């Protein structure tokens, strides 16, 4: 078995403020990296409980890094560094994709919810479906025939994932009470739950279909008030208004996801 694990720093238990995820607060961020790395290691353990010979590749998907390399699981491999682009070395040799530490897309609910950038993006849509990082990357995996079988994070994140992949295995490690407020499991309880759910997800890989719809893929980005759309402009792009741009690609990996 070969499993790809995609991580982010806003979703682990005990992480609920922006300062805990930012480089300007190194002590706070270091603790968050400890929490995330523990949850990732628990996910790896759950996969290995199911298949002791499994190959597990982890991508540290948090800008600025979110994994404590000194504590990273000795039986997994880590993709870390600059310059990575879609599909992030994910390909059809993988049996499954799992998300650990995921957050919800920008909206009215969800602890630390945002869509790719907390400071610039109001929403992303693909073929008129509003998506955050989970949806965009689950669809990317689906175009490769890879099912997304596990997601961990707050209750809003798991509900968002289940809207797209109804029978995905979810591990709720905290319940959102606000943008920077949550009710958390302990780190130990969160890790135990994720280990259990990762094992369950492995056992259900054949039941969970890849999230997929055919292209071409029309991407629409709307930026927050006062932000520029220039980064999204390219030949053939349609400017809807001063905050919204739309363009179409046949290859989903050419979208900024």
Please give the domain boundaries of the chain with CATH numbers for all domains.
2-215 (3.40.50.10780)
Residue 82: which pLDDT band, with cuts at 50, 70 and 90?
A: confident
* 234 to 52, 225, 230, 244: CA distances (angstroms): 46, 21, 9, 13
**pLDDT higher than threshold 80 for residue 146:** yes
Cα separation, 135 vs 118, in Å, equals 17
* 199 to 42, 44, 153, 211: CA distances (angstroms): 10, 9, 17, 20
Mean pLDDT calculated for residue range 28-52: 97
Nearest partner of 230 among 210, 245, 208, 248, judged by Cα: 245
Residue 26: which pLDDT band, with cuts at 50, 70 and 90?
A: confident
What percent of the chain lies above the pLDDT cut of 90? 95
* pLDDT, the chain, mean: 97
Q: Roughly what angle, to the nearest 10 degrees, separates helices 133-143 and 155-164?
A: 30
Cα separation, 85 vs 221, in Å, equals 18
Mean pLDDT calculated for residue range 69-88: 95
List the beta bridge partners of residue 124: 131, 221
List the beta bridge partners of residue 171: 152
> pTM for the full model?
0.96
Task: Supply the DSSP symbol for 242.
Answer: T
Residue 243: which pLDDT band, with cuts at 50, 70 and 90?
A: very high
Mean pLDDT calculated for residue range 55-83: 95
**pLDDT higher than threshold 90 for residue 64:** no
Cα separation, 221 vs 231, in Å, equals 10
pLDDT (0 to 100) of residue 1: 97
């Amino acid at each position: 078995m070969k499993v790809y694990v995609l991580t982010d720093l806003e979703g682990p238990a005990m992480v609920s403020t922006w300062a805990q995820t930012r480089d300007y607060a190194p002590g706070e961020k270091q603790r968050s990296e400890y929490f995330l790395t523990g949850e990732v290691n628990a996910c790896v353990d759950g996969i290995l409980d199911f298949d002791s010979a499994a190959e597990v590749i982890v991508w540290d998907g948090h800008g600025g890094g979110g994994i404590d390399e000194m504590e990273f699981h000795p039986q997994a491999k880590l993709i870390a560094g600059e310059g990575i682009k879609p599909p992030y070395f994910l390909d059809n040799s993988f049996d499954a994709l799992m998300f650990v530490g995921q957050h919800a897309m920008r909206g009215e609910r969800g602890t630390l919810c945002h869509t790719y950038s907390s400071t610039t993006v109001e929403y992303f849509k693909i073929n008129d479906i509003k998506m955050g990082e989970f949806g965009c990357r689950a669809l990317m995996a689906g175009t490769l025939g890879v099912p997304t079988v596990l997601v961990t994070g707050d209750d809003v994140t798991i509900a968002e994932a289940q809207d797209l992949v109804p029978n995905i295995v979810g591990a709720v490690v905290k319940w959102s009470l606000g943008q920077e407020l949550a009710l958390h499991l302990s780190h130990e309880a969160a890790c135990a739950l994720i280990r259990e759910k990762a094992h369950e997800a492995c056992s259900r890989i054949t039941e969970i279909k890849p999230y997929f719809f055919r292209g071409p893929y029309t991407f629409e980005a709307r930026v927050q008030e006062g932000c520029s759309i220039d980064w999204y402009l390219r030949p053939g792009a349609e400017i809807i208004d001063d905050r919204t741009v739309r363009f179409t690609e046949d290859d989903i990996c050419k979208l900024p996801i």
